[in-house]
Structure 1
Amino acid sequence: MKLLHFERLAMAVTFLLLFVFTSTLQAQVTLSATGSGTAYDLIASKGFGNENPDCKHPSFGPHVTQAFDNTLGKYVFVFHSHATADDDRCTNEDRTRMEIKGGDGSNAEMQHTQGQTAYYRWKFKLDAGFIPSSRFTHIFQIKAIDGDAGAPLMTITPRAGNPQKIQIIHSSGEGSGSLGTVKEADLAPFKGNWVEAYVKYKSSDGSAGTFEITLTRVSDGAVLLSYSNSSLDMWREGASYNRPKWGVYRGKDDVLRDEQVRFNDFCISESSASLCPSSIGSNPGNPGSVNLSPQHDAYVRDGSNAGTAFGSTDAANLVTKLAPAGQTGNNRETYLSFDLSAVTGTITGATLKVNGHTQDSRDANIVVGAFAVSTTNWTESALTWNNKPASAASALATATVTDATARYYNWNITSYIQSEKAAGRTKVSFVLKNQQETQGQLLWNSKETGSNAPQLNITTAAARQETTTTIPAIITSGLTSFPNPFRNNSTISFTLDKPAHTNLAVFDITGKQVAVLMNGMLTAGSHNAQFNANHLPSGVYTLKLLYNGKTITRKLLKE
């Protein structure tokens, strides 16, 4: 009996140890906004530290707040960075910093010692008008603690330029082995879009370190940037551990503006990527996706071939080229048109995808712009350089063709497709133009090639039901706007039967707030507000009036 009792006790202890050991291995740290309490308290409760400019700019209050995001359908963190009013913790006036981080006092899962592998996943959104510093702007860092802890080991860095870029930058510190910019992509597809970031790295010295990163647009699952290296220095001499940092850290210069960068859904693990799973495809709103094939696609060529319809004579190919001096008659442009009549629901994303590559080894990293074409009744069998329709003056988006390896390149044209659909147009047309000279051609697959044809990928969410119940009692007259439709300005009117704190705002078709018309305590009676939309594109907007959590909305149409 004593032996049986001992065996049972041993089994219980073994089970308890196994449970504790397993639980330790399967740990992760998560942080998401809740909308309640202060953002700083919530961040601290999860073991994150923060470095903020509050001491320099106390009148603003906390530089991280929480806001409801209509695209994700939940509360998110808003990191505020002011171009001149902020600095770096009252120590460095030439830069601004608002970051959260792992460090002393953090969970062990946020302190990665030598030889450990870390997995991160989070979401971020740069504003559509985001302006990077011409010096530096970091929105993510991997930093060493102690020892050679100066420059970060890795950063995600939006970079000023024409076009603006987003870069992945590596530094090995004081020793040799820094790789600098290891990967870059155009910044345009990131602006105004939620992006899910995934990072995996091993904190090891010399060639034993590893790093991989994937940045994926949430709306349509398009991979905007990816990079991996299985042999690079991810450890600093004298370091105690590595840690992550997220936020807005930028050098001051004259081009900066006040920014609001959104973050959410942080997850950190040292056990498995499965503990920080992707949420793309599981967002609210019953999203759908459709890939449209071109109605017509063809290229045109100038010079002696300006009257040739290559859509008939060379249908299997699409070509772009901006010819250098001495190559007369070698310019080529590619036209594509699509039919949107089958697309239903609220458009949340639109990506033009064309498979292509460089022809000449002397050509690399060639920027190609996708331009809107208002004329959509052309046909590939008749299109020539001489009769090609005119395009817009500036590109909707750009993509960089890197080398001779054929792959899909993506142009984010969401805003344009939304505005065209809202205006009732069912066909769209584009032209691809090289933005720099090349020795050879850029070759693209057409719909007649047989595989990897061009496509317009559109994601949609089911249209939300408009509330038709009685307007809350506080509002005695309905929310009205005149004129509607309007061109540049509309007058918004409503009446309150007693004083109330009221918020009146305008949102675009993606749910992004584009204007706040009123926000504060209003007296009883009639109220008017002016909505000036000169700077906004044509399309459908939502007017939203809030009181004590009650909401009334109206649709506005800018022509």
Structure 2
Amino acid sequence: MPTGCINNLNEYAFFTLKALFNMKPLQFTGFIIAATVIILLLSKVPLQAQVTLSATGSGSAYDLIDSKGFGNENPDCGHTSFGPHVTQAFDNALGKYVFVFHSHADADDDRCTNEDRVRMEIKGGSGSPADMQHTQGQTAYYRWKFKLDAGFIPSSRFTHIFQIKAIEGDAGAPLITITPRAGNPQKIQIIHSSGEGSGSLGTVKEADLAPFKGNWVEAYVKYKSSNGSAGTFEITLTRVSDGAVLLSYTNNSLDMWREGADYNRGKWGVYRGKAVVLRDEQVRFNDFCITESSASLCPSDIGGNPGQTINLSPQHDAYVRDGTNAAITHGTTDAANLITKVAPTGQLNNNRETYLTFDLSSLSGNITGATLKVFGRTESTSDANVGVGAYAVSNTTWTESAITWNNKPASASSAITTATVTDATGRYYNWNITSYIQSEIAAGRTKISLVLKNQQETSGRLLWSSKETGSNAPQLTITTSSSLAAARKETDEVIIPTTITSGLNSFPNPFRENSTITFTLEKPAYTHLAVFDIAGKQVALLVNGLLQPGNHKAIFNANRLSPGIYTLKLLYNGKIITRKMLKN
């Protein structure tokens, strides 16, 4: 609507309101009609717009992406057995569903047109809203999140996870890329190209890749699509967990337009040249926002509860030793060390176990992840790939200055989970104990105790760093969220996925302490299996990751939960199936 019309409507509304107090009943009826017309007309006025895209956990990821006006370039045509190369999965760190972009080093290609590279990208294009097509002179604002796997390996050729590209004209090389780069150390680079003409700046900013790997990062980009010195570009990459700025760059005078172009657009995903170093990757994306109006329409949510990570140090940690050493308090006599060992037959007085306690009273919100991290190694190079179990200990009153083999508290009969110590090189090993921590919090307990036990005999010891060492101390990493997106409302429609052939079953049901959960998948995909109480609060996370086709089993340990009705929820490729469980 023309601006003059808006002004006239505003004036009309003002004089109508002014006369309201002198109206007779019939006149008042006329006023109501006029006011309604004004509201309807004003509702047609174009407002500032933005395009947003976030995973929902429902339906096909491709359908959701398409519904927002994004196109996609995928390798599905050449790798049909895998299915869609973008799926949805629940993410513990963010506490909500996210998009998972799958990129396979060997089986994928570039849309069945280029065999020397692999591409899985979403993009703006001809079918996109106007706010995703940036014509000459327009300023665009982008914000989104991405997460590279902790073991992510960049190609020795090229790897792009974001591009700004021209449409038509000199549209070969992208104007801007975010490029993880192979090397020692690995880097992440911001690269600029002016295309066929002069003025390319190449790498304008780089940072070490290590702080990006395994962490959610929020990206903010602002740029003006103009020729020569009239173009601008700004980028900030911020770690979500603590708000640390990992990379920032601003240039208010660079070429951001290509000869003969119709418009610029963004591209997000995984695009890399094939090389022997590559592995299959799963890069996560979410919370896309694009606008040409104002950065305020795509605000940051860092600090607004995107998910919080808390690292807890142990209150007490100590090892105990059997035999003639069974009365020694190693927590005081050897405080700097933690040791585990199952001695071979014939070795006396040589078994060791390590105990730890953590105080959870400072935690708030929903627990979405819990990982025990302990720095350790094998003592002997002859020992390799040693399994170490983390066991629950109900007694949390022991102290490192008093615990011995003789008085050590009893542990559960089976491990919560295990980790494999590979060799004599010191590194952190992780035990995912999310389900156990959730059940303890749900039961009202604010302190937990664990014991580490080797699962096999070794000739040497396994040596671990204690909290007294200062560096590389044990820690319990907790991720929390004030609202859990995994817990869909009970009023939501329950859709049984066609890819779950035998449904979802639990046995026994009703049960007293433990129940075994079984289900079968026809093809690989990210799978989320959790248990919720009658109030809708998650009390256990049983599965959260990529599963292969076949039969799967999980154990729900509810011995510390109150009797009552619980809901088991299995989410697979955005679909959900639920089952009720009764604990006696």
Q: State whether structure 2 residue 470 is matched by structure 1 residue 429.
A: yes
Evaluate the alpha carbon distance shift between residue 464 and residue 229 of structure 1 in structure 2; reply closer, same or farther with a 3 A threshold.
closer
Match of 2:506 in 1: 474
**Separation in 2, partners of 1:169, 1:67:** 31
Residue 506 of structure 1, CA deviation: 9.7
Cα pair distance change 1:393/1:226, threshold 3 Å: farther
2:243 is matched with 221
Paired residues of 1:124 and 1:195 also in contact (CA < 8 A): yes
> How is 1:348-427 mapped onto 2 (pairs within 5 angstroms)?
426=467
Q: CA RMSD in A?
A: 4.8
2:281 to 234, 259, 272: 259
Q: Which amino acid is the alignment partner of residue 130 of structure 1? A: F
| TM superposition shift of 1:228 | 1.1
CA–CA separation in structure 2 for the residues paired with 1:142 and 1:116 = 14
The aligned runs of 1:146-157 (5 Å cut-off) are 146-157=168-179
Q: How far does the alpha carbon of each residue in 1:259-309 deviate from its partner, in whole angstroms, 9 at most, with x for none? A: 111111110000011101111123366x477999xxxxxxxxxxxxxxxxx
Distance 1:184 1:130, change over 3 A: same
**Residue deviations 1:311-354 (CA, integer Å, cap 9, x gap):** xxxxxxxxxxxxxxxxxxxxxxxxxxxxx97994369799xxxx
1:549 and 2:578 matched: yes
> 2:305–2:482: 8 Å Cα contact kept in structure 1?
no
Q: Match of 1:443? A: none
2:211 partner letter:
P
Contact 1:478–1:494 (Cα < 8 Å) also in 2: no
Q: Percent identity?
A: 66
The amino acid that maps onto 1:429 is G
Displacement of 1:69 in angstroms is 1.6
Map Cα deviations across residues 48-90 of structure 1 (whole Å, 9 max, x no partner): 1111111111222211111222222222111111111111111
Question: Does residue 282 in structure 1 map to residue 304 in structure 2?
Answer: yes
1:368 aligns with: none
3-state SS of the aligned residue for 2:285? Answer: strand
- Give 1:430 shift: 3.1
Structure 2 residue 221 is the aligned partner of structure 1 residue 199: yes
Residue 188 (structure 2) pairs with residue 159 (structure 1):
no
CA gap of 1:551–1:59, structure 2 versus 1, over 3 A, is farther
Deviation at 1:245, TM superposition (A): 0.3
CA distance in 1, matches of 2:580, 2:185: 41
AA matched with 1:174: E
TM-score (norm. length: structure 1): 0.58
Instruction: Evaluate the alpha carbon distance shift between residue 125 and residue 422 of structure 1 in structure 2; reply closer, same or farther with a 3 A threshold.
Output: farther
Distance 1:208 1:257 in 2: 41
Instruction: Pick the structure with greater CA Rg.
Output: 2
Quick check: 1:118 aligned with 2:140?
yes
Structure 2: segments with no counterpart, 5+ residues: 1-6, 14-36, 314-357, 379-423, 435-448, 453-465, 488-503, 531-539, 556-567, 572-576
Please report how far the alpha carbon of residue 46 of structure 1 lies from its aligned counterpart in structure 2 after TM superposition. Answer: 0.8
SS at match of 1:474: strand
Q: CA deviation at 1:176?
A: 1.3
Would the aligned equivalents of 1:213 and 1:226 in 2 still touch at CA under 8 Å? yes
Provide the rounded CA distance (Å) in 2 between the counterparts of 1:224 and 1:195. 9
Q: Which amino acid aligns with 1:81?
A: S
What SS is found at the alignment partner of 1:41? helix
Q: Do residues 64 (structure 1) and 86 (structure 2) align?
A: yes
Where do 5+ consecutive residues of structure 1 fail to align?
1-5, 293-339, 351-370, 375-391, 397-412, 432-455, 482-491, 530-543, 553-559
Pairing partner for 2:480 from 451, 457, 461: 461
- How far off is 1:17 after superposition? 7.6
Q: Which residue of 2 aligns with 1:173?
A: 195
Matched residue SS, 2:508: strand
1:158–1:512 distance in 2 versus 1, CA, 3 Å:
farther
Counterpart residue type for residue 506 of structure 2? I
- Give yes or no for contact 1:50–1:98 (8 Å, CA) kept in 2: yes
Residues 150-206 of structure 1, C-alpha deviations (whole Å, 9 max, x = no match): 110101111111111111111111111111111111111111111111111111111
- In 2, Cα distance between the equivalents of 1:274 and 1:528? 45
Equivalent pair of 1:214/1:223 in contact (CA under 8 Å): yes
Q: Which residue of 2 aligns with 1:240?
A: 262
Query: Which residue of structure 2 aligns with residue 109 of structure 1?
Result: 131
Q: Name the counterpart of 2:77.
A: 55
Partner of 2:156: 134
2:284 and 2:301 map into 1 onto residues whose CA distance is: 17
CA pair 515-107 structure 1, distance change in 2 beyond 3 A:
closer
How many equivalent residue pairs? 385
Contact 2:377 2:425 in 1 (8 A): no
Aligned-partner residue type, residue 470 of structure 2: S
Deviations 1:379-423 (Å, cap 9, x if unpaired)?
xxxxxxxxxxxxx96788xxxxxxxxxxxxxxxx9999x9xx977
- SS of 2:151's partner is coil
SS of residue paired to 2:173: coil
Distance verdict in 2 for CA 1:181–1:106, change over 3 Å:
same
